[in-house]
Amino acid sequence: MALNLGGIIRLTYAVKNDVGVLTTPATAVLAITQPDGTVAVGTTVTLPPAVAGQLVYDFTPSQAGLHSVRWSTTVPTTAEDDMFVAERAASLFINVDETIAHLRASGVITSDADREQVQWLCLVVCSAVARDLGRTIVRRTVTEVYDGGRLAINLRSTPAVSITSVTENGTLLAAGDYLLNPATGLLYRGSTLSSLWFAWGRQNIAVVYVAGLAAINTPEADEALRVVRKVALNGVQRSWQASQQASHPLLDEIGAEAVFAAVGALTPLELGAYNSLKAVGIA
């Protein structure tokens, strides 16, 4: 199950002896490998636990992404692998409560487990919608590196809202030394009165900028965001229905199929607005 970055995840491990009885071990080691490959420090497991054989550790992740978990004990000698994912902040553009209302299930989906499942499906479908459009939906700060030797750089995360900094061959450029075209996502070297080239080099241009459809305060962006949110809500509806059935396709397939079906359910007007958001070159 996914959790938000900065939240506390409770890791648990049931230690049993060779006849299957819960047993408090003599020693216990918990190793958490973080997304950057480093092992988290300070993961000392309290012994004896409050309940015999039930090891517990509360961990606060500082990195977004997949974490690998390894439990090991002696007397009895046991080991188990696990994992969890810490989601980046601001990755959702629909929430659990409105999704449950969209499902007409306010009195049905009430347990913590079901609400967590809806949250997970929201994450999956929001990611699938963003990938389908080739757009960044929720405002976030992006750091990207590009090759130089060109008049303009085509920023990967669009729509680009503002440029925070541009570094060329290790030198921070002044704000007047570059120009952003928010409509196209092109970052030009120079200004409105001059045309320059980014210095030639491999991976020598670093750009920090803010991107996200939700950060654009225009009527057109507001209308587009409503359509995007409706697609996501429709997608979670399909995903939830699939999750309650006997057959469980892979979650990434659920997300992709849900977006396809959700887009197909739009009216022609909504479909036109949705397709107009797709980035150039994104099928």
Query: What is the token pair recorded at 241?
Result: 């229905």
Q: Are residues 224 and 205 in the same domain?
A: no
Q: Are residues 131 and 151 in the same domain?
A: no
Q: Is residue 283 part of a domain?
A: no
Q: Are residues 147 and 263 in the same domain?
A: no
Q: Whole-number mean pLDDT of the chain? A: 89
pLDDT for the residue 152 = 96
DSSP states along 86-104:
EEPSS--SS-HHHHHHHTT
Query: What is the token pair recorded at 215?
Result: 């950060």
Q: Are residues 180 and 104 in the same domain?
A: no
Q: Are residues 10 and 60 in the same domain?
A: yes
Q: Are residues 251 and 233 in the same domain?
A: yes
Which stretches within the chain are classed as H helix? 96-102, 112-133, 219-243, 251-264, 268-275
Q: Are residues 232 and 260 in the same domain?
A: yes
Q: Is residue 101 part of a domain?
A: yes
CA distance 122 to 212: 18
| Helix 219-243 × helix 112-133 angle, to 10° | 130
Is the alpha carbon torsion for 163, 168, 174, 178 positive or negative? negative
- Of 211, 245, 264, the residue that ends a domain is 211
Lowest mean pLDDT among 58-67, 224-233, 262-271: 262-271
How many structural domains does the chain have? 3
**156-161 CB contacts, 8 Å cutoff, 24+ apart:** 157/209, 157/211, 158/134, 158/185, 158/211, 158/279, 159/135, 159/185, 159/211, 159/212, 159/213, 159/216, 160/185, 160/187, 160/209, 160/210, 160/211, 161/209, 161/210, 161/211, 161/212, 161/215, 161/216
Residue 23, domain extent: 2-87
CA distance 107 to 101: 9
Q: Is residue 271 part of a domain?
A: yes
Q: Is residue 281 part of a domain?
A: no
Q: Is residue 160 part of a domain?
A: yes
Tens-place pLDDT, residues 66-117: 999 999 999 999 999 999 989 877 679 999 999 999 999 999 999 988 998 8
Q: Are residues 124 and 245 in the same domain?
A: yes
Closest C-alpha to 127, from 89, 92, 177: 92
The larger pLDDT score, comparing residue 33 to residue 125, is at 33
| Residue 77 DSSP code | T
Q: Is residue 179 part of a domain?
A: yes
Q: Are residues 73 and 202 in the same domain?
A: no
Find the CATH number of the domain harbouring 72. Answer: 2.60.40.10
CA distance 276 to 225: 12
pLDDT for the residue 54 = 98
pLDDT for the residue 13 = 98
Query: What is the token pair recorded at 113?
Result: 């487990």
- Of 183, 211, 239, the residue that ends a domain is 211
Q: Is residue 282 part of a domain?
A: no
Q: Are residues 128 and 228 in the same domain?
A: yes
Confidence of residue 279 (pLDDT cuts 50, 70, 90): confident
Q: Are residues 127 and 185 in the same domain?
A: no
| Helix 268-275 × helix 219-243 angle, to 10° | 110
Q: Are residues 165 and 67 in the same domain?
A: no
Q: Is residue 6 part of a domain?
A: yes
